[in-house]
Amino acid sequence: MQRVRLFSLIVLAAMLSGCGYNTIQQQDEAVKAQWSEVLNQYQRRADLVPNLVETVKGYAAHEKLTLDAVIAARNAAASAQGPAAMGAAEGALSGALVDIKCRLLAFETAHRAAP
């Protein structure tokens, strides 16, 4: 009777240890899968940085063009001779200043909306 009890205890222990091993393997694979997702997100973010840099460079160039247009319009208005030339130069300066004001307003709105 004791042999049967001992045998059944050994068999039960062997069965339970096998189940635990499978659980450990499953959890280990789950951790590896989750970590690969983290690495994947890091890689995607790293891949997007050059695109972001190019976008910022393009936007900075556009802003420089806008500022150059305002400066040129101001210089033209300052050096205009005669009423017709002054009117045209002042109109161009007003248009350039409206463009700057619109960009400033859009920037402030976007800045306030950002979390």
pLDDT tens per residue, range 52-107: 778 777 777 777 888 888 888 888 888 888 888 888 888 888 888 888 888 778 87
Domain that holds residue 15: 2-113
Going by pLDDT thresholds of 50, 70 and 90, the confidence category of residue 19 is low
Handedness of CA 44, 109, 73, 79 (dihedral sign): negative
Going by pLDDT thresholds of 50, 70 and 90, the confidence category of residue 30 is very high
Q: What is the pLDDT of residue 29?
A: 95
What's phi and psi for 5, nearest 5 deg? -65, -45
Q: What is the pLDDT of residue 81?
A: 87
Going by pLDDT thresholds of 50, 70 and 90, the confidence category of residue 40 is very high
CA Rg value for the chain: 36
- Cα–Cα distance between 8 and 36 in angstroms, integer? 42
Amino acid at position 34, single letter: Q
Split into its structural domains, the chain has a count of 1
91: nearest Cα among 68, 104, 67, 74? 74
